[in-house]
Amino acid sequence: MSDLKNDRYLKALLKQPVDMTPVWMMRQAGRYLPEYREVRSQAGDFMSLCKNAELACEVTLQPLRRYELDAAILFSDILTIPDAMGLGLYFEAGEGPKFERPISSKADIKKIPNFDPNVELQYVMNAVSTIRKNLQGDVPLIGFSGSPWTLATYMIEGGSSKAFTKIKKMAFSEPQTLHLLLDKLADSVTTYLNAQIAAGAQSVMVFDTWGGVLSPAAYKEFSLQYMHKIVDGLTREADGRKVPVTLFTKNGGMWLEAIAATGCDAVGLDWTINIEDAKARVGDKVALQGNMDPSMLYAPAERIEQEVQTILKGFGNGSGHVFNLGHGIHLDVPPENAKVFIDAVHKFSKPYHQ
């Protein structure tokens, strides 16, 4: 365990004792930081930034220079897999990601090539190994992927969606077609995350951003069972230490027990659930990550500190909590407010670990 100067993030995910609650932020490397915007404009566009290992490493490290964070997260995009499958990913200004060739039939799914993450997504592995080297053992590196359901929503809708009518139409009128795609995606995500672990990621996270748009039965059928399959297929030890896996479903609070039963190490929580209730329900099985509303970072410093204390008190004594926002930091949050948040977690959490 001695290769890391600060391993409290990994320890908390495994529910081992820590001196204070570790903290990192979803989207901590990103557009709320002026130094990120500078590198992004230098790269030309978002995917060029993702594909340049040195620049991806630079933006991953930027927040660590500003804040006392307990983990770094790979700078990449959740849509790298569909891009590698040849769907023609592009970004429209102000509209988010789009695909030139969305999936609309079983024939489209059968045409999807099997890809090797060390070939088509070699740029991600280069970024992982470059970041890991440059971190010099200061903090662990988190790798990640989108969940099969979330990736499928973009692939079938052709981009972002509000109602998800195309994928739900397929789910309920031709479920076997959608299962074919989800199964293929689950295999791809597993291979992709294992390649990230081999390249140096010390923990991995699956982002199920759109699982919460499903009914309970549909969630288990179309999202959770495929995340379970991924958890079963992941490399869980590397470099002589455990590689913890976190599953995060936005708006997934009603399914915590089912998520915890997949065998993951930690469950990510959004802000719509009380952490005290979540701990009472699943805290003996898994660690919890979360769960301050990202919009709280617009508040004055005292209010941010107050909210941090409320969440820490809700979780209570002992390990098994990684403090985070309930979703990604908003792009217009003042960077100094993020510092107040991070410092408050460390300052106020120590008594809970004595």
Binding residue ranges: 27-31, 77, 154, 209, 327
**Would you state the structure tokens that stand for residue 313, as one six-digit string?**
């008190």
| Residues 6+ away with beta carbon under 8 Å from 232 | 263
Which segments are annotated as binding site for substrate? 27-31, 77, 154, 209, 327
Question: Which are the contacts of 103, defined by CB distance < 8 A and separation ≥ 6?
Answer: 87, 109, 112, 152, 155, 156, 181
Q: Are 138 and 199 in contact (CB under 8 A)?
A: no
Catalytic member of 8, 9, 32, 40:
40
The Cα 290–Cα 269 span in angstroms is 5
Q: At which residue do the structure tokens 């590397």 appear? A: 238
Does 101 participate in catalysis according to the annotation?
no
Strands (DSSP E) contained in 40-166 are 72-73, 89-92, 96-99, 141-146
138 carries an active-site annotation: no
Smallest CA-to-CA distance from 297 within 316, 276, 271, 320 is with: 271
> Which residue, 306, 308, 304, 314, is CA-closest to 337?
304
Return all residues near 172 (Cβ < 8 A) that are at least 6 apart: none
Q: Return the SS3 of 206.
A: strand
List 27, 32, 192, 270, catalytic entry: 27
Task: Judge contact between 227 and 194, C-beta under 8 A.
Answer: no
Place of tokens 């099969």: 148
Instruction: Answer yes or no: 154 catalytic.
Output: yes
- Give the 3-state secondary structure of residue 112: coil
Pick the catalytic residue: 19, 37, 77, 138?
Answer: 77
Tokens of 165: 């009518």
Q: 69 exposed, middle or buried (CB, 10 Å; 0-12, 13-18, 19+)? A: buried
Is 281 annotated as catalytic? no
Task: Verify whether residue 27 is a known catalytic residue.
Answer: yes
Pairing verdict, β 287-292 and 266-268: parallel
Residues with catalytic function? 27, 31, 40, 77, 154
